[in-house]
Structure 1
Amino acid sequence: MNEELNQEFSEEKREQSPEDLAKIYDIEEYMRDVIDPELGINVVDLGLVYDIRIEDGTTAHVDMTLTSPACPLTDVLEEQVQMAVGSSGIVDSVELHWVWSPPWGAQMITEEGREQLRAMGFSV
């Protein structure tokens, strides 16, 4: 079963063109407008965005996780992603994929995210 999953993942990870890489960079910047409702920090600096891919130059696939699989706020985050990226004009559509492996951990938070959390009184 793992071999099948690895093969499927490899086929999904197509090489991106320079134009697509530029779109991915821009989409990541727009994703900084998506704020985790529980922590008040953007999902990029929290390390919740695992991958962004462009398909056919028109569709963005965003692999994202949550701080907890039991998080009840997936709808809120999905709406924010659609508003931030979908309305940017970079791509025609955005597909959000929830992934749980590897599980999210505090080690995934960027230094900027850590500074923001410390400013809010968290110890990270």
Structure 2
Amino acid sequence: MDNEFLSKEEEIVNALKTIYDPEIPVNIYDLGLIYEVNVNKEGKAVVVMTLTSPNCPVAESMPEEVFEKVSDVDGITHVDVNLTFDPPWTKDMLSEEAMLELGLL
């Protein structure tokens, strides 16, 4: 993969790290809610994400916020945000940073 596109994916990850779950003081990337970030050479980004539960109160607004943040990344021409619950989110998906933040380490 070309370094230019790897850096776009890193830019997207950095943008996603600015979005916080309203109930847990950790960003959605470190929470493990982002399953995939892919960018093709035309600038089309695909983000596969989940929520902590299907009944999450931000089920409508969080994917919209992800769409907006990814769309704001320079060079991104199109964004697809795919919401999935397979596999379901568990606390095992937390990053080490998130576990530290939540006092689980």
How many residues align? The count is 105
Coordinate RMSD, CA, aligned: 1.8
Confirm or deny: 8 A CA contact 2:52 2:90 kept in the other structure: yes
Instruction: Give the structure with the larger helix fraction.
Output: 1
Percent identity (aligned): 32
Q: What TM-score, normalized to structure 1?
A: 0.74
Where structure 2 has 5 or more consecutive residues not aligned to the other structure, the ranges are none
Confirm or deny: 8 A CA contact 2:39 2:46 kept in the other structure: yes
Q: Which runs of 4+ in 1 moved over 6 A?
A: none
Where structure 1 has 5 or more consecutive residues not aligned to the other structure, the ranges are 1-15
| Higher Cα radius of gyration | 1
Confirm or deny: 8 A CA contact 2:18 2:27 kept in the other structure: yes
> Please, which of 70, 87, 102 is the counterpart of residue 55 of structure 2?
70
Confirm or deny: 8 A CA contact 1:78 1:96 kept in the other structure: yes
Q: What TM-score, normalized to structure 2?
A: 0.86
> Please, which of 55, 72, 79 is the counterpart of residue 94 of structure 1?
79
Greater RCO (CA < 8 Å, at least 6 residues apart): 2
